[in-house]
Amino acid sequence: MQIPNYEAAKVRSKKEVLIRKFNLDNKYLNLGLNKKFYLKTYGCQMNEHDSENLKGLLHEMNFEEVFDMEQADFILLNTCSIRENAHNKAFGMLGRIKHLKESKPDLVVALCGCMAQEVGVIEEIKKKYRFVNFVFGTHNLDDLPKLLYENLTNKKLNIEVYSMEGDIVEELPVSRDSKYKAYVNIIYGCDKFCTYCIVPYTRGKQRSRKKEDILKEIKSLVHEGYQEVTLLGQNVNAYGKDLYDDYELADLLVEVSETKIPRIRFITSHPWDFSDKLIEVIKEHKNILNYVHLPIQSGSNRILKLMGRRYTKESYKELYDKLRSIENISITTDIIVGFPGETEEDFLDTLDMVNYCKYDSAFTFIYSPRENTPASRLEDNTPLSVKEERLYRLNDLVNKYSKESNLKMLNNIYEVLVEGESTKEGMLFGYTETNKLINFKAHKELIGSIVKVKIIDAKSFSLDGELVE
């Protein structure tokens, strides 16, 4: 039994991060023979990619995936802590699983991901959800085979969560969700400690993967025919700082570009570490896509300071203007409304920045206090109804600009990576270089290739197009 602890999670030691190669012990190989697993993922792309590794591990143990929870012998929830509603969804799911387990006592249930790193969540599981078989955290994904094995002989709730990040584990098995686009981690953890955010506690200190390991992974993806990679990290712009004296994200992107993978994206960028060199590199390489996700969070300097974001609206604008010099760039953002003490005036500053930046799209959230974060200790007198009303006003403005940016695309031709069949009957869907969702009629054979599409209709969240022969 190993439970999380926030004091330990906060520590940023200078200890060298070890890198080790994953190896599956033979005794785990047949654990999943004739057994089915159901995996539910919450949260960000990093969690989605962790789930691809978890599936890889389960497939190596000969488990088969099912998409109906009732058919599963093993249910795994890969959870997210970012906001209260992510929490509630996972606990709601545990409630449903409890009923299932009553009629199916051999069912094995496990929880992992960011919620497992929360002290309060572990206490709640120990109190109310003792039917869970085991819990493991973000720092020991590779313990899954061991925990499943131990569960064969010991059915009591087992909690194995480490607060301090461990080694970087290379060569974990992976079952990717797409055959055409792939996520590649380049940096783990986060050292920014924005005052509202739980991620620095759930994901540990910032650790870059070695460039050789990243490039090796991408070269093998090119070899397998992948068309697009997304380089992942909570703050990709900090890439290399913990590892190299003179090698940053811009340098990595140049080397990734040389692999000739047709499309390269990178998320998420913190405005603080965005270098001029990075802007030049995006301009100079066709396969580094002209798309940047640049979270602003608030347009009020007072609130930005309380958030610990380390930039002002003026410095954000300066960076934003430089980015707009990249031809046809698309810029998206994240915004939080209702941070403790946010006044109407602060909120109007945020709307001002949205009017200035005219984002291609934005993810907008109501502030959600997270356990143990500095912001959760701030006084917050704004009623929820006021925060909700601000969110509506913000969304109206954001949607207006999304629609405007989409309307500008009408009658133009864009390259689209075709990803699959659309929810709209008889249509396929794919994304442009600038990450716009396009639906269009074409033969299924085109799935996985990059085609030219002319835009014929524009809405706020998607566009319709027609294939250009």
Binding site for ligand F3S (CB under 6 A): 43-44, 46-47, 80-82, 113-114, 198-199, 202-203
Interacting residues of 91 by C-beta distance below 8 A, sequence separation 6+: 124
- Report the nearest approach of ligand F3S to the CB of residue 311 (Å): 21
The tokens for 405 are: 């940016």
String marking each residue 204-223 x if it binds ligand SAH according to CB under 6 A = --------------------
The one-letter amino acid code at 104 reads: K
- Residue choice 124, 334, 380, 389 for contact with ligand SAH (CB under 6 A): 334
- Which residue from 217, 272, 290 is spatially nearest to 52, judged by alpha carbons? 217
The tokens for 118 are: 């929360």
C-beta neighbour count of 184 within 10 angstroms: 22
- Tell me the CA distances in angstroms from 383 to 58, 171, 369, 413, one per residue in order: 46, 49, 14, 47
**Residue whose token pair is 């999670």:** 9
CA distance 402 to 325: 19
The interface with ligand SAH within residues 361-390 (CB under 6 A) comprises 365, 367-368, 370
- Report the nearest approach of ligand SAH to the CB of residue 399 (Å): 17
The interface with ligand SAH within residues 260-299 (CB under 6 A) comprises 268, 270, 295, 297
C-alpha torsion sign, points 218, 178, 134, 145: negative
Residue 80 interface partner, choices ligand F3S, ligand SF4, ligand SAH, none, CB cut-off 5-8 Å depending on type:
ligand F3S
Residue 206 interface partner, choices ligand SF4, ligand F3S, ligand SAH, none, CB cut-off 5-8 Å depending on type:
none
Burial state string for 418-448 with b = 16 or more CB within 10 A and e = fewer than 16: bbeebeeeeebbbbbbbbbbbbbebeeeebb
Residue 51 interface partner, choices ligand F3S, ligand SAH, ligand SF4, none, CB cut-off 5-8 Å depending on type:
none
Q: Which stretch binds ligand SF4 (CB under 6 A): 45-53, 119-127, 190-198, 375-383?
A: 190-198
CA distance 236 to 248: 10
Determine the size of the site formed for ligand SAH (CB under 6 A): 16
Whether 267 and 289 have beta carbons less than 8 Å apart is answered as no
For ligand F3S, the closer CB: 89 or 454: 89
Phi, psi dihedral angles at 278 (to 5 degrees): -65, -40
Residue 347 interface partner, choices ligand F3S, ligand SAH, ligand SF4, none, CB cut-off 5-8 Å depending on type:
none
The one-letter amino acid code at 318 reads: E
Q: Using alpha carbons only, what angle is made at residue 294 by residues 462 and 80, rounded to the nearest 5 degrees?
A: 80
Whether 118 and 198 have beta carbons less than 8 Å apart is answered as yes
CA distance 199 to 163: 12
- Residue choice 193, 244, 247, 365 for contact with ligand SF4 (CB under 6 A): 193
Q: Which stretch binds ligand SF4 (CB under 6 A): 148-156, 168-176, 192-200, 372-380?
A: 192-200
- Report the nearest approach of ligand SF4 to the CB of residue 102 (Å): 38
Q: Is 365 in the site for ligand SF4 (CB under 6 A)?
A: no
- Residue choice 49, 55, 101, 270 for contact with ligand SF4 (CB under 6 A): 270
- Report the nearest approach of ligand F3S to the CB of residue 440 (Å): 31
Q: Helices H, strands E: what count in the chain?
A: 13, 21
- Reduced to 3 states (helix: H, G, I; strand: E, B; else coil), residue 76 is strand
- Report the nearest approach of ligand SAH to the CB of residue 271 (Å): 8
For ligand F3S, the closer CB: 43 or 448: 43
- Report the nearest approach of ligand F3S to the CB of residue 46 (Å): 5
The tokens for 353 are: 């920045």
Residues that bind ligand SAH (CB under 6 A): 82-83, 196-197, 234-235, 268, 270, 295, 297, 334, 336, 365, 367-368, 370
Residues that bind ligand SF4 (CB under 6 A): 190, 192-194, 197, 199-200, 234-235, 270
